[in-house]
Structure 1
């Protein structure tokens, strides 16, 4: 399998459990409110055209659609796409979910007012190329907004998740942010692509929810960041 096919296979296998955690009834409403506030403050006013790259199970796409945006979510992991499509079908004016590559999204230039991603940058091949392609899709004055953290600063070999079968040496070598030790490394990627007004904001509301409800299995309690830049 290619590097991307290995990544796709990993996330397809993880999809059911990953989605179950995202839908936890004890914190679902609190999560929805917190993420709605975060995205509402980061993005242009609704309704805007938004592309959610690496949409996974569609959690971000669903929140954005709930805010009134016209949302398209793309992913390459079929298992994740199945979960996202199931959620999208439950609401009127839900997101459109499509098979698509986050590195090279297949849309005409200036198709969107914003590009978003969450928990993608660390497992994204060619992030510099990806961000440059996202900028091409965003209309002048629009926003690129990504959420991530430094999940594995000590290396994937020391991670509590089992990456062995899919994130082999070739895959790891293709992911420059997989073992980032600072969110500044993600900031630098956005700045190098030519985005302006790039800022990183600590998501203290999510940090507090994780403290209150606990973090996902095999994860540690750590700060997540919203990194935004303007086209």
Structure 2
């Protein structure tokens, strides 16, 4: 594994306990329904879709989509996150598969999935263009990618704390974790790009049939500032058709 990926995995291992707690709280809040609406809007027709949740973390999207009856596989680079995802799914009696796997190198045959979903992942990837190419490889012709992300590389975590609500997750991170995250971001080329225009350019270059940007996702999802789930960054949505 590349050194930067070891750093990334180590960082998320350190955050896995608090991250899992927050995802469980999110699943029990109105956020689950808000995100489910966003996902449903972008999904293609089909009662049972085969879905890959890339960078699943603790399985938030996987649980939501599996509860709809879809066949979901969640992958993540960090073993601790996958263990938490399995635990959360089991607690909710949800059937989903979870595997430790590199998002840039999904180990599946060509054309395996109808849909690929992702949330807050692309900004953490050392080789995002390569990742997009691999996601398209494992996606069926006419399949859909739903990628929700933000320009997190422009965010100064230590500098942002004062304007965040007390309950916000970043206020429960140690200074060391905040500094580690900022250090990682500076090493990733994607965080020097203008997004999501960079993503659109790459996806069109890769030959996608259609790329649509929704810049207003964050206005529909993050309406309450006094919330532990509040995100001050303008989250966008990308809907891509292969």
For the aligned pair, the TM-score class normalised by the smaller chain equals 0.7 to 0.9
The aligned counterpart of 2:110 is 109
- Residue of 151, 162, 172 corresponding to 2:186: 172
1:40 aligns to 2:66 (yes or no): no
Query: Does structure 2 conserve the Cα–Cα contact (< 8 Å) formed by 1:156 and 1:179?
Result: no
Per the TM alignment, residue 55 of structure 1 is displaced from its structure 2 partner at its CA by 0.6
TM-score (structure 2 length as normaliser) = 0.82
Per the TM alignment, residue 163 of structure 1 is displaced from its structure 2 partner at its CA by 4.3
Per the TM alignment, residue 214 of structure 1 is displaced from its structure 2 partner at its CA by 3.2
The aligned counterpart of 1:210 is 222
Per the TM alignment, residue 172 of structure 1 is displaced from its structure 2 partner at its CA by 3.3
The aligned counterpart of 1:130 is 131
Distance 2:190 2:118 in 1: 14
Per the TM alignment, residue 64 of structure 1 is displaced from its structure 2 partner at its CA by 1.1
The aligned counterpart of 1:73 is 74
- Decide whether aligned partners of structure 1 residues 28 and 106 sit closer, same or farther in structure 2, where only a CA change above 3 A counts: same
Distance 1:211 1:166 in 2: 25
Distance 2:194 2:158 in 1: 15
Query: Does structure 1 conserve the Cα–Cα contact (< 8 Å) formed by 2:24 and 2:88?
Result: no
Query: Does structure 2 conserve the Cα–Cα contact (< 8 Å) formed by 1:6 and 1:167?
Result: no
TM-score (structure 1 length as normaliser) = 0.86
**Where do 5+ consecutive residues of structure 2 fail to align?**
162-169, 171-176
Query: Does structure 1 conserve the Cα–Cα contact (< 8 Å) formed by 2:63 and 2:94?
Result: no
**Where do 5+ consecutive residues of structure 1 fail to align?**
none
The aligned counterpart of 1:196 is 209
Point out the more displaced range, 183-192 or 80-89: 183-192
Aligned-CA RMSD value: 2.6
- Decide whether aligned partners of structure 1 residues 179 and 130 sit closer, same or farther in structure 2, where only a CA change above 3 A counts: same
1:186 aligns to 2:199 (yes or no): yes
Per the TM alignment, residue 29 of structure 1 is displaced from its structure 2 partner at its CA by 3.2
Query: Does structure 2 conserve the Cα–Cα contact (< 8 Å) formed by 1:211 and 1:221?
Result: no
Per the TM alignment, residue 142 of structure 1 is displaced from its structure 2 partner at its CA by 0.3
